[in-house]
Amino acid sequence: MTFVLNGFSQDGEFRVFSFQGIAADHARTTFRVRIHLALSRQYGIRIQDLPILCKALLERSGEPPSSRNTTFTERLMSEYAARAAARSSASQAAAHRKSSAVKLGAAWRTPHDQQ
């Protein structure tokens, strides 16, 4: 099933994303995913990432979701934040290794404009 974002609405402290699920036979079903905005900010999840996370939740099982209405839970937000932190620290480590490698031997190299 393919999911296409139709839009969102506000329900108190929840943002509700509406998706159109399109089956292989082109049958369409509406799905809604609620996400608590204050919790998403608490876990450092950017608001522009919310639709993508909700779509991933719908696509997770590979089969159509059993419920047309679901909630992106705090547990899922915590897992997402942990993965994001791990990716961030890995990219920072890679950037540090790269910057160190660029400087390697710089003390004995002659600048190109002085040759």
Long-range contacts of 95-100 (CB under 8 A, 24+ apart): none
Q: What whole-number distance in Å separates Cα of residue 112 and Cα of residue 115? A: 6
Spatial CA neighbour of 54 closest among 39, 38, 69: 69
Q: What whole-number distance in Å separates Cα of residue 56 and Cα of residue 113? A: 52
* pLDDT for res 20: 96
* pLDDT for res 30: 95
* pLDDT for res 10: 96
* pLDDT for res 102: 58
Residue extents of the structural domains in the chain: 2-100
Spatial CA neighbour of 11 closest among 51, 56, 57, 71: 71
pTM for the structure as a whole: 0.72
| Segment-wise mean pLDDT, segments of 10 residues, the chain, 115 residues | 95 96 94 95 93 93 80 93 77 58 60 60
* pLDDT for res 108: 61
* pLDDT for res 67: 85
* pLDDT for res 73: 93
* pLDDT for res 109: 63
* pLDDT for res 110: 63
